[in-house]
Chain A
Amino acid sequence: MTMLSTTIQPGLWASVGMIAAVVLCSTAGEVLTASAMKSIGDLDEIRARSGLKGAILAVVTCPRFHAGVGFLALAFFSLLFALNHLNLGLVAPASASLTLVTNAIAAQLFLKEHVDRRRWTAAVLVCIGVYFLAH
């Protein structure tokens, strides 16, 4: 006797929403963390000046760092939620590769990084490469 299980497949917009949540939370987390580290300054110099304890203290007392880690945790739980409803073969390549492109856009907009043609080419190449690896 075979047991038939009925699974409800989410619609197109629900799937797009779940992947978008992973990508947006991950991008917000990466950008906030990067911004926090820039505001703290070169960790190697801080460690040389105040030791390892001073460097750790500088990081953990930065509110923006905690906001970044919070968003990264949200991205992780959004990924778990998406994996519960969608196939790994769709979620993993889509979220991993799209995050690279959204990070480049967010870094240019919010961190005022100079994303020149070289970096855009690299972002697109890595994005397609990750898609091929994860698919």
Chain B
Amino acid sequence: MSHIRPTPRQYLILGFVSLSAPLGDSCLSRGMTSLPPISLAHPLSLIGAVFTPWIAAGIALLIGFFASYLTALSWADLTYVLPATAFGNVIVELLSRFWLHEEVSWQRWLGVFLITAGVGFVAHGPSLTERPQPQAQAAESGIAGEQSR
């Protein structure tokens, strides 16, 4: 395996993958808790909720997350990108401790440490499995073969 490293721009995309999902979820949570309770008898009030600033921002961030996640998968391995998505949990913990001043238990700090160590391990390695051209084509058609079986 050769050492294919992401460019600074690609690191930025991976950073956005990590940040946008927890920020989007937080915006949705903030928006939904500020609304009066929505009953099943009036489901149309959910449509109105979409146009409130916090929820609109959350949806925009989650669309951005999916777009950047797909972009990252187009030039990096799945096993390289997935730890970056898990790193979002670390950001949520840090935000809840230092921004919202919530108590974070030692188990959660241990979780933060383990995820950070895991992401550090992957980030030091190559981002893409390099293979000769015929093997690359075989790997791409491999899934199609599995599907057609």
Q: Size range of the interface on B?
A: 35 or more
Q: How far is the CA of A118 from the CA of B79 in the complex (A)?
A: 11
A98 to chain B, nearest CB (A): 13
Interface of chain A: mostly helix, strand, loop or mixed: helix
Instruction: Decide: B111 and A133 in contact? CB cutoff 8 A.
Output: yes
A61 to chain B, nearest CB (A): 14
Q: How far is the CA of A38 from the CA of B77 in the complex (A)?
A: 9
Q: A44-B75, A111-B77, A112-B131 in contact; A118/B124 too (CB < 8 A)?
A: yes
A54 proximal to B (CB < 8 A): no
Max count, chain A CB within 10 A of own CB: residue among B79, B113, B117? B79
Instruction: Decide: B83 and A133 in contact? CB cutoff 8 A.
Output: no
Q: A38-B74, A107-B79, A114-B129 in contact; A130/B115 too (CB < 8 A)?
A: yes
Instruction: Decide: B114 and A128 in contact? CB cutoff 8 A.
Output: yes
B142 proximal to A (CB < 8 A): yes
Instruction: Decide: B143 and A126 in contact? CB cutoff 8 A.
Output: no
Q: A35-B143, A114-B1, A123-B79 in contact; A133/B112 too (CB < 8 A)?
A: yes
List residues 7-46 of chain A with CB under 8 A from any CB of chain B. Answer: 30-35, 37-44
User: What is A's interface to B at a CB cutoff of 8 Å?
Assistant: 30-35, 37-44, 59, 64, 67, 100, 103-104, 107-108, 110-116, 118-119, 121-126, 128-135
Sorted from nearest, which 3 A-B pairs have the closest CB atoms? A129-B114, A132-B111, A125-B118
